């Protein structure tokens, strides 16, 4: 697979990464451990080298899964994980105090069965801890060789600048896709100016852009999407137009909706590396195949023109989680 570099000084990784959260957390019952290991190792065989996890996915079990799955390939891959919640639990308050960051790093190293974290993200900006202190704490871990690169997640342009001034930020991880383009306003220009890579999560709209979800779809009771306004039955019906447009474009190009959605992201900037997640081998193969789908300027213009006719309905987070998104 093609390689891309995250930021001016960040790691070189596969053009498509793998978001591992859904194997353990967020989208219904966890995948059987052996199946999760099989899928992650299949991704390695297909050329994927960027694997994304976090202590709060589970909590903790996703890091353990990723660590075990990637142990035989450790020097061939880039492992990203995150800190930022009390007790590693995303339902608890934020905590990015420097002493907590260090404790999380030590615990994550053990769970990941490794001696270094390749990319260490602050999971959400903590309004109670100056971002300069956060960057300084990670800078110390980098100096000790325990962390290779510093990242931020869902951070706004001002926070990115302040952190970057203390310790260069290799990558920002935030939601970005054909149905969530907010980063284009201020975040993407800031990343381009500062030479920071961008890792879009939920690049397939939490599955919606694949066409596999419609107004009649029912989710497991533990599925996060039950809480997301954009996934109400009414809003899924209202947003079906986007899926229809994607289907038309995909059909004309001999690709799938998911591949067009991912190829569109790859075409935006050479330093964008999406991390679609999946629990299914055939979806993994489909997503990886997107790296070979080249969209021309005419293709991109056609997509843009079609999207201008569509209004996406519904918030991407419930109000309680939206409060944690930095501006």
- Residue boundaries of the structural domains of the chain: 3-206+268-294
Query: What is the pLDDT averaged over residues 120-146?
Result: 98
pTM of the model: 0.97
* Across 70-74, 249-253, 278-282, least confident range: 249-253
Q: How confident is the model over 4-22, as pLDDT tens digits?
A: 999 998 999 999 999 999 9
- Averaged over 85-104, what is the pLDDT? 97
Please give the share of the chain, as a percent, with pLDDT higher than 90. 96
The CA angle 229-234-237, to the nearest 5 degrees, is 110
Q: Domain 3-206+268-294 is of which CATH architecture?
A: Alpha-Beta Barrel (3.20)
Write the pLDDT tens digit of every residue in 268-284: 999 999 999 999 999 99
Q: What is the mean pLDDT of residues 96-120?
A: 98
Query: Percentage of the chain surpassing pLDDT 70?
Result: 100
CA distance 117 to 28: 28
The per-residue pLDDT for 301 is 93
Kindly state the average pLDDT of the residues 82-104.
98
Given a cut of 90, is residue 138 above it in pLDDT?
yes
Q: What is the pLDDT of residue 15?
A: 98
Q: Is the dihedral of CA 117, 121, 126, 129 positive or negative?
A: positive
* Alpha carbon distance 276, 283 (integer Å): 10
User: pLDDT tier at 319 (50, 70, 90 boundaries)?
Assistant: confident
State residue 323's pLDDT score: 84
Q: What is the pLDDT of residue 186?
A: 98
pLDDT at 322: 87
Distance CA 138, CA 150 (A): 7
Average pLDDT, the chain: 96
List residues with catalytic annotation: 57
**pLDDT exceeds 80 at position 327:** no
Residues 6+ apart with CB under 8 A from 295: 260, 263, 264, 267, 303
When pLDDT is cut at 50, 70 and 90, the band that residue 241 belongs to is: very high
Task: Please check whether residue 176 is in contact with residue 19, taking contact to mean a CB–CB distance below 8 angstroms.
Answer: no
Neighbouring residues of 105: CB distance < 8 A, sequence distance ≥ 6: 83, 117, 120, 141, 146, 147
Query: pLDDT of 153-209, one tens digit each?
Result: 999 999 999 999 999 999 999 999 999 999 999 999 999 999 999 999 999 999 999
pLDDT reported for residue 314 = 95
pLDDT score of 300: 95
Q: What is the pLDDT averaged over residues 225-231?
A: 95
């Amino acid at each position: 697979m093609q390689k891309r570099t995250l930021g001016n000084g960040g790691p070189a990784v596969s053009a498509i990464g793998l978001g591992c959260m859904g194997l353990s957390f967020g989208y219904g019952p966890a995948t059987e451990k052996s199946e999760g290991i099989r899928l992650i190792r299949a991704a390695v065989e297909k050329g994927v080298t960027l694997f994304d996890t976090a202590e709060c996915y589970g909590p903790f079990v996703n890091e353990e899964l990723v660590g075990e799955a990637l142990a035989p390939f450790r020097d061939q891959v880039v492992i990203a994980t995150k800190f930022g919640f009390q007790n590693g639990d995303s339902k608890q308050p934020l905590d990015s105090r420097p002493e907590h960051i260090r404790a999380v790093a030590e615990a994550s190293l053990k769970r990941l069965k490794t001696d270094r974290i390749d990319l260490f993200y602050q999971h959400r900006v903590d309004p109670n801890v100056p971002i300069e202190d956060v960057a300084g704490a990670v800078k110390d871990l980098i100096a000790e060789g325990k962390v290779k690169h510093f990242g931020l997640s869902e951070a706004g342009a001002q926070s990115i600048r302040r952190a970057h001034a203390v310790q260069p930020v290799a990558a920002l991880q935030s939601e970005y896709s054909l149905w969530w383009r907010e980063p284009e306003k201020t975040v993407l220009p800031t990343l381009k100016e500062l030479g920071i890579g961008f890792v879009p999560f939920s690049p397939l709209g939490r599955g919606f852009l694949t066409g596999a979800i419609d107004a009649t779809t029912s989710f497991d009771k533990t599925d996060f999407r039950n809480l997301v306004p954009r996934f109400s039955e009414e809003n899924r019906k209202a947003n079906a137009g986007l899926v229809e447009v994607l289907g038309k474009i995909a059909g004309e190009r001999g690709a799938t909706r998911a591949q067009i959605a991912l190829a569109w992201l790859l075409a935006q900037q050479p330093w964008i590396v999406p991390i679609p997640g999946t629990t299914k081998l055939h979806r993994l193969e489909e997503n990886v195949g997107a790296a070979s789908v080249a969209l021309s300027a005419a293709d991109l213009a056609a997509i843009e023109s079609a999207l201008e006719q569509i209004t996406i309905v519904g918030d991407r987070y419930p109000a309680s989680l939206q409060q944690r998104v930095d501006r």
